[in-house]
Amino acid sequence: MATGIWLIGARGSVATTAVVGAAALKAGLAEPLGCVTELPELRSPALPGLADLVFGGHDIAGIPLAKKAEALVTAGVLPAGITAALGTEIAAAERELRPVPSAERQIDAARRIAADIEDFQRRHRLERVVVVNVSSTEPAAPPHPGHADLAALEESLASTDPVLPASSLNAYAAFTAGCPFVDFTPSTGARLPALAELAARADVPYAGNDGKTGETLVKSVLAPMFAMRHLRVRTWSGTNLLGGGDGANLADPAANAAKAGSKQRVLAETLGYQPQGSSHIEYVDDIGDFKTAWDLITFSGFLGTTMRMDFTWHGCDSALAAPLVLDLARLTAAAHAAGRSGPLGELAFFFKDPLGEVSHALPEQWAVLVRFVRGLAYV
């Protein structure tokens, strides 16, 4: 069951780590650490095999994949020697990358994006292609009447107005090409009524938003712990220091705001109230891909006694994100194969800001995910 992964932002850190990593796993050079679909509880014949994934994608940047991979080796994200060992595979992926098509009218840009994807699918005789957005986080998109329903959207796209942010235009293109869409970023993506309508019409599923790889992951287990123990969280204040391409982009206050918001939501949802404090993101070029986050939590217990905990998280963002990209593509492909369409709330486990009215507590998200995968096997 050859399955395509079409990456928006294909020359970025997450994308490159995913492409090189999948090749390394296929070549038996590494264990599938970080890939949750390789855990016994989630392994399933319903999922396309890791070895059956084929990569292509769009990027506005032109840096060769091999050069980007080399930079990731230097940064300690990819192991030394891997680019030499996987030169052929990297070259093969390089051939499937395309510049982002542009056009005066967004409807035409979308058609060309879809055409690139369809061409990719045809050439590789892929059963299906999952489009995954791992491009730079966008600032919040300005509202537009075309967002509200599909008819209005299609009419507006045919004008020369900018109607959709890039992430949503990609979702639109994916749906028109009959492809599932995964948004690993906090950008708008498929989260517009008009696009929900389109996904339903096209009978394709979609998932998102914003891969959960660090501080929020920890929050999604610690916050339920405080709740289960009836301890009242008073303050939860976080600082995230990060460099890399994503860090540089998040230094932009607009993009930053989107991210910081989705990082605190988990608290209100799992605790039932919003503690004081905020989540602060700071760009430090030198930190590179290894983010350091520090969180301080103060809480009250029996008779009001105040206590505290703090943690630091020193994680390699791309190494945490890339295997989840593979997981999400496999799961979404299987959901599509099983006839699922619309938002996949069951994949909340993977996201900081999951679609739908779902739990933000990791253990519950895990239980839902396990059931979801079991369900897929019996279609």
Ranges within 283-322 binding ligand NAD (CB under 6 A): 317-318, 320-321
Q: Which parts of 301-330 interact with Na ion (CB under 5 A)?
A: 312
What is the phi/psi pair of residue 181, to 5°? -135, 135
Is there a contact between 365 and 349 (Cβ–Cβ < 8 Å)?
yes
Chain residue at closest Cβ approach to Na ion: 312
Smallest separation (angstroms) from Na ion to the CB of 156: 51
Q: Which does 218 bind (CB under 5 to 8 A by kind): Na ion, its own copies, ligand NAD, none?
A: its own copies
Q: Which parts of 57-86 interact with its own copies (CB under 8 A)?
A: 76-80, 82
Burial of 46 (0-12, 13-18, 19+ CB in 10 A): buried
Q: Binders of its own copies: how many residues, by CB under 8 A?
A: 75
For the stretch 151-177, what's the b/e string if a residue is b when 16 or more beta carbons lie within 10 angstroms of its beta carbon? Answer: ebbbebbeeeeebbbbbbbbbbbbbbb
Q: Of 34, 139, 178, 342, which one interacts with its own copies (CB under 8 A)?
A: 34
Q: What is the spatial distance between Cα 183 and Cα 8, in angstroms, rounded to a whole number?
A: 10
Q: Which parts of 256-295 interact with its own copies (CB under 8 A)?
A: 276-278, 280, 282, 284-287, 290, 292, 294
Smallest separation (angstroms) from its own copies to the CB of 215: 10
Q: Of 47, 82, 134, 362, which one interacts with ligand NAD (CB under 6 A)?
A: 134
Q: Of 8, 24, 157, 190, which one interacts with ligand NAD (CB under 6 A)?
A: 8
Q: Binders of ligand NAD: how many residues, by CB under 6 A?
A: 29
For the stretch 219-238, what's the b/e string if a residue is b when 16 or more beta carbons lie within 10 angstroms of its beta carbon? Answer: bbebbbebeeeebebeebbb
Q: Of 3, 5, 6, 13, which one interacts with ligand NAD (CB under 6 A)?
A: 13
Say whether residue 246 binds ligand NAD (CB under 6 A).
yes
Helix (DSSP H) and strand (DSSP E) numbers for the chain: 13, 11
Smallest separation (angstroms) from ligand NAD to the CB of 325: 9
Is there a contact between 94 and 65 (Cβ–Cβ < 8 Å)?
yes
Q: What is the spatial distance between Cα 255 and Cα 241, in angstroms, rounded to a whole number?
A: 15
Q: What is the CA angle 26-30-33, rounded to 5?
A: 105
CB-nearer residue toward Na ion: 41 or 310: 310
Residues in the site for Na ion, rule: CB under 5 A? 312
